[in-house]
């Protein structure tokens, strides 16, 4: 039987994630072109991201029917089994026979025909118990970490550290949020044309709803905005609401000299450039040339012509002969605040990487602070939930820069209050030190951290 388009795409996405270290959303964006039907695109996305979110639970259940660990199977076989079991357990509208048979066909198409009988037998056995709650299969007398790790499909080391810092209730809530499909939020690039742009999106067949965190943000369901005229004209971009909030904290003014370090993919640059205006200076940097090329293409779509792109390693002394009024350091990080959107991260990240990232982030922030003008402001941000990458980085950098201090909580809150959606209390977004936090689930956003710093 021929493989469905959706399953073939999902298989290719999962293979590239595992074998090449790709990100599923990036591969899906490439694969789901205009020639792919909307229903196939939706199923391919559901299978790809669903299997990645629930891989831990899927492997636990698969292991009961296998003689060796899932990770020791040939990759095509492991992917086919995970896809098949995901359909059996999570997608009620797909007949069990279709899930089993197409999974067997997948391994045949990957030239692993000898494993087709194994895939068929394992999935048929597990189909018979697919309605049973997974709790039923947990071993007795296990610690609190293990059932949370298995049932919510997160690595045990990450669950353990969250339990130690957040407690059971908050950790469970976070794990649940990570396994929900995130909302598709968009940023609006011309607030004065809001009604016109949103009407155009609705006429394209999309459903548009207000954002939960920001006034100008909105969410979309019912299709992909990237296929609309509004997107192609540069009226909108796809961007999580918490991510949209970060550049607003800088409160860029007309004529400001602005530096956007580690800027790729460039989503936080547009409000910086618009607010600085034609008399401002906007320099955007990244250490990778291919990411700069992608940003140049993005800025062309958004009609940002005055942005200067520079390839550099921001962790070293910066080469600029001027100081900047505003600097954004959106640092590379673990991404633990984005596990719903990028579920593969939870399986790639290792505990020792947090220390490596911390050291890099301190170098980045220290280097940027040296380039900040007196009276200037800098935002250090991550999409991580881990103190090693957030508060600890700011503390260490400030010890090296006594002329820099955190902006007070009340003033930091005022910097964003006018942008918030009705009913959102700005003060609740900041801790006592004036540091910005969003947690996955609270406003249906990703988890972000930001510190607003000022040089005396």
What whole-number distance in Å separates Cα of residue 356 and Cα of residue 363?
11
Q: What is the DSSP letter of 225?
A: G
Render 34-74 in DSSP notation, one character per residue: TTS-HHHHHHHHHHHHHHHHTHHHHHHHHHTT-SS-GGGS-
Alpha helices (H) along 278-382: 289-301, 345-348, 351-370
Residue 169 three-state SS: helix
- Which of 59, 70, 84 minimizes the C-alpha distance to 150? 59
Asked whether the beta carbons of 362 and 392 are under 8 A apart, the reply is no
* H or E element at residue 452: strand 448-455
Does 262 participate in catalysis according to the annotation? no
Tokens 């401002």 appear where?
A: 280
- Which of 226, 171, 202, 178 minimizes the C-alpha distance to 445? 178
Inter-residue long-range contacts of 309-313, CB under 8 Å, 24+ positions, other chains counted: 309/284, 309/285, 310/283, 310/284, 310/285, 311/285, 311/286, 311/287, 312/285, 312/287, 313/287
Asked whether the beta carbons of 431 and 409 are under 8 A apart, the reply is yes
Active-site entry in 186, 262, 333, 383: 383
Assigned token pair, 83: 């896809």
Catalytic residues: 383
């Amino acid at each position: 039987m021929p493989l469905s388009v959706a399953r073939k795409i999902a298989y290719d996405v999962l293979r590239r994630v595992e074998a090449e270290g790709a990100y599923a959303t990036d591969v899906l964006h490439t694969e789901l072109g205009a020639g792919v039907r909307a229903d196939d695109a939706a199923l391919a996305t559901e299978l790809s991201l669903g299997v990645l979110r629930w891989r831990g639970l899927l492997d636990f259940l698969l292991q009961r029917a296998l003689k060796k660990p899932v990770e020791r199977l040939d990759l095509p076989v492991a992917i086919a089994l995970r896809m098949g079991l995901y359909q059996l357990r999570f997608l009620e509208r797909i007949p069990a026979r279709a899930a089993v048979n197409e999974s067997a066909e997948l391994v045949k198409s990957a030239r692993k025909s000898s494993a087709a009988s194994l895939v068929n037998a394992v999935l048929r056995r597990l189909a018979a118990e697919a309605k049973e709650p997974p709790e039923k299969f947990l071993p007795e007398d296990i610690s609190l970490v293990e059932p949370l790790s298995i049932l919510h499909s997160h690595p045990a080391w990450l669950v353990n550290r969250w339990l130690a810092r957040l407690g059971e209730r908050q950790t469970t809530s976070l794990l649940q949020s990570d396994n929900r499909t995130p909302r598709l939020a968009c940023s609006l690039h011309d607030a004065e044309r809001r009604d016109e742009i949103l009407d155009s999106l609705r006429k394209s067949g999309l459903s548009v709803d207000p954002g939960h965190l920001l006034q100008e943000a909105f969410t979309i369901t019912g299709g992909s905005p990237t296929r609309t005229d509004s997107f192609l004209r540069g009226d909108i971009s796809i961007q999580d609401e918490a991510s949209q909030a970060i550049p607003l904290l800088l409160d860029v003014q007309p004529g400001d000299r602005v530096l956007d370090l580690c800027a790729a993919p460039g989503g936080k640059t547009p409000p910086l450039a618009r607010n600085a205006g034609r008399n401002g200076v906007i320099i955007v940097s990244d250490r990778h040339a291919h990411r700069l090329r992608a940003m140049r293409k993005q800025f062309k779509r958004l009609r940002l012509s005055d942005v200067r792109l520079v390839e550099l390693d921001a962790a070293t002394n910066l080469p600029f002969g001027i100081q900047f009024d505003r600097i954004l350091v959106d640092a590379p990080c673990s991404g633990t605040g984005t596990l719903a959107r990028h579920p593969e991260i939870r399986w790639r990240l290792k505990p020792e990487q947090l220390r490596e990232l911390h050291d890099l982030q301190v170098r980045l922030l220290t280097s940027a602070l040296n380039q900040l003008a007196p009276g200037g402001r800098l935002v250090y941000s991550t999409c991580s939930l881990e103190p090693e990458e957030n508060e600890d980085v700011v503390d260490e950098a400030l010890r090296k820069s006594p002329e820099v201090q955190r902006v007070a909580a009340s003033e930091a809150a005022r910097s964003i209050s006018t942008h918030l959606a009705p009913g959102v209390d700005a003060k609740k977004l900041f801790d006592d030190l004036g540091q910005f936090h969003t947690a996955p689930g609270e406003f249906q956003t990703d988890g972000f951290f930001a510190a607003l710093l000022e040089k005396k």
